[in-house]
């Protein structure tokens, strides 16, 4: 029984982990906007240890994130779904894209980051912690 599992749109890539997620963070950085084709990404932080991926079409692309250090974004090369990222500044964790989870309804976002580049028509819950750039501590 896995705590968390999901897949891409076409189902060629599936992932699961027994580890409990650490946190859910909403990212408004311009790279997440590009990759998701949307206004932000919702990232569920999970330990890399025990994170299992099965897939015939897993690809990745690395670019420098807001910190200037590489972010490697894993996606399905068949259907293009963004699945998870490995972030240099967060070793030992993957940022799983919440939209690919089989059930994301129980998630509770804890914070917003890169609010400086958020679209003005996106309503951000300002009762949560909002970082203008990356999470700094
Ligand atoms: Zn796919
Ligand atoms: Zn981002």
User: How far is ligand 2, taken at its centre, from the CA of residue 16, in Å?
Assistant: 22
User: How far is ligand 2, taken at its centre, from the CA of residue 37, in Å?
Assistant: 12
The pLDDT of residue 68 is: 82
> Among positive and negative, which fits the CA dihedral 88, 11, 110, 120?
positive
Averaged over successive runs of 10 residues, the pLDDT of the chain (137 residues) comes to: 88 96 96 96 97 96 88 97 95 97 96 96 96 81
One DSSP character per residue, 32-95 reads HHHHHTSS-EEEEEEESTT-EEEESSEEEEEEE-TTSSEEEEEEETTT--EEEEEETTSTTEEE
Architecture per CATH, domain 4-130, reads as Beta Complex (2.170)
State which residues have CB under 5 angstroms from ligand 2, the bound ion.
27, 29, 32
The pLDDT of residue 2 is: 60
The pLDDT of residue 135 is: 81
Segment (H or E) for 97: strand 93-97
User: How far is ligand 1, taken at its centre, from the CA of residue 78, in Å?
Assistant: 5
The pLDDT of residue 126 is: 93
The pLDDT of residue 1 is: 57
The domain locations on the chain are 4-130
How far is Cα of residue 63 from the mean position of the Cα atoms in its chain?
A: 15
The pLDDT of residue 25 is: 97
């Amino acid at each position: 029984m896995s705590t968390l599992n999901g897949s891409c749109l076409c189902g060629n890539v599936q992932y699961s982990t027994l580890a409990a997620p650490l946190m859910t963070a909403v990212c408004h950085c311009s790279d997440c906007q590009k990759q998701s084709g949307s206004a932000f990404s919702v990232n569920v932080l999970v330990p890399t240890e025990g994170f299992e991926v099965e897939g015939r079409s897993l690809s990745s692309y690395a670019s420098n994130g807001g910190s200037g250090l590489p972010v490697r974004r894993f996606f399905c090369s068949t259907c293009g779904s963004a699945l998870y990222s490995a972030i240099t500044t967060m070793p030992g964790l993957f940022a799983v894209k919440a939209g690919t989870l089989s059930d994301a309804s129980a998630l509770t976002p804890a914070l917003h980051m890169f609010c400086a580049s958020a679209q003005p028509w996106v309503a951000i819950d300002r009762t949560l912690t909002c970082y203008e750039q990356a999470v700094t501590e």
